[in-house]
Structure 1
Amino acid sequence: MSGPNKNYDPVEVTPLHADEVERMRDEALAAIAKAADLDELRDVRLGHAGDRSPLGLANREIGALPPQARKDAGMRLGGARRAVNDALATRQQELEHERDERILIDESVDVTLPWDGEPLGARHPLTTLQERIADVFVAMGWEVFNGPEVEAEWLNFDALNIAPDHPARTTMDTFFIDPPEAGLVLRTHTSPGQARTMLSKQPPIYVVCPGRTYRTDELDATHTPVFHQVEGLVVDEGITMAHLKGTLDHFAQAMFGAGLTTRLRPYYFPFTEPSAELDLQCFVCRGESVGNPDRPCRTCSSEGWIEWGGCGVVNPRVLTACGIDPERYSGFAFGMGIERTLMFRNGVEDMRDMVEGDVRFTRPFGWES
């Protein structure tokens, strides 16, 4: 930029001519009016009101004028730049208002539309039933134990008096984890949780162990390779089969209704002695279909009883393996399938419905816990 020159004719400085100033101002005003949105207006502001804009560059030339010419040129350019800034502010307000109006329209919510058009989901009934079972025993003062699903072979079999040559230890029933020498399996029942409890604490023990288990079964209407069990264990002084029977009666009534009775049939399990199968009185016919052809019952096949699970007095060998004195303490254990319990309670006929993930199966159960 050149220094002041008193002999310089300001008329020859083209950007300061009145016509040129008006042209730059009108050009800026036209661009401002043409800006369709705030982004375009920002570009217009930089091009016509910034330091590098035509009016901004012209303003720098004022310093080169003789003193007597600076006032008129300054007033001329100042008026033009003020008009441009006022137009920018006005257009800014207009575009912001249009933007806000557009947002109100585009993002509006029609409160008259049906609010329940999309159906709600539901928790899986196996989950809610498992929690309900746990609540039954917690209410009696028991503890809930959740053990690992990948379990030590010793805890899954040996600690429970299941011999190395027992058929259940073959690959026909059990999923073994590679490498075989690791001694790990996918637990075939939740009984290892009972062994873990006895190894970690001294009697009295009152614990229930719900959870997921695995066996090499084919998936069909009544079997699945991944299923859920709940097992209970009591170890204390003076425990007998009578305590077991009373506990199972209470559990059965909590699941299937008041007044329901149970019966025990002699059976064999390696981890209990004596052992029994637990039968429920049919909760549909209550035994009235037995010998009554006029009132057949599909649920129990008119037998009056339904098999539910297994139970018995804890084998002294199991107590010894877990470091508990069988001369002082005794106990009982029981176990049943949660899928089977759900089938009984809710009339589910096909176990595959529980694992296929169809919301039409889970939704009718709602959010009951």
Structure 2
Amino acid sequence: MATLIGTVTKVIGQVFAQSADGTKRALVEGDRLFAGDQLITGAEGAVAVHLQNGQELTLGRGSSMTMTGELLAGQAAHVNAAEAVTPSDAQLTDVEQIQKAIAAGDDPTKSAEATAAGPNAPGGTPGELGGGHSFVLLTEVGGRVDPIIGFPTAGFGGIPEFPEERHNAVIDNGDDTPPVVVPPPVNNPVTLTGLNVAGGELSLNEANLPAGSAANPGALTQSGSFTVSAPDGLTSLSIGGINVIVGGVAIGFPQSITSQLGNTLTITGYNPATGVVSYSYTLNGNENHAAGDGANNLSEQFTVIAGDSNGDTATGTLDVNITDDVPKAFDDSNGTASETQLTLTGNVLTNDVQGADRVPTGPVTPGTFTGTYGTLVLNANG
């Protein structure tokens, strides 16, 4: 079983551990490091490890180090495949000289020799002082150091303090299928076709009444149809006060009402597949047309209202025209009276057209009329 070297206590940026078999894993706080693992920090990474012997190990950015038992023995380990080097006495002397310059009020950045920068020092390797990055092995955690730099300093409070980083993560369930985009619903209008026809949808003539000038009972009932379209669902339909559809359900047929003129409007059917509504209108008697000579028309309107499930409505008018059966009077003539035939008889109504609006007691006004050559006696029956 591999030897446990230490436990990760702090991680900044990306830090990885690569096993001897080449397996590479990202480290988080609490992960364990075993002998043979190679600790690798990214370009912006840093890590702190609590070793099994109680020491603390920190590794800066862009570095790598192999976990060995030497760390538990308090010995330096390899960093970037090179040995870490303990500062020389000459280097420590330079530090003391800088400290003295600061204490004397001098600015070492102006008076001291410039520090090395760039590639590794001649003969050096990454990981050596003056070269690349190195690790720090803390053998005395929690100690206090007071360098002579003009002000007091304190040691770590147990472990180095790393800023806490937060990353927003998105859960990936492995499904790369693009989401289904549902288009917004389309609000379709309600339309009525076959209504508001110029001259009316139906026309009837009083002349076809039994007392009319051209009696024809079969022509007293006329039929027609119109179409209602409601793509969003037809929920209501009324015609002249007749409820054809209520709550999306068609009522039974036929349905009839007596119009204001005393005639009959009948809704004979509705086809939900095509939207066709059929109807008929029956003329029951003569109407009171406007006074005056010549033919004239009388119209009757029935309001049509349709609504759909979205609350949209459409309104139209079913128009019926009724033509007046006007009377027509023609001149009368008879034979010529003579000395041998003094009296002539006839009827002044025989060749006239009275129309459907005839007067039951007339229309002849009886009387005796004296002319130049004789006397005319007109009876009530013509």
Confirm or deny a common fold (TM above 0.5): no
TM-score by length of 1: 0.19
Higher relative contact order (CA 8 A, sep 6+): 1
* Bigger helix fraction: 1
TM-score by length of 2: 0.19
The structure that has the greater radius of gyration is: 2
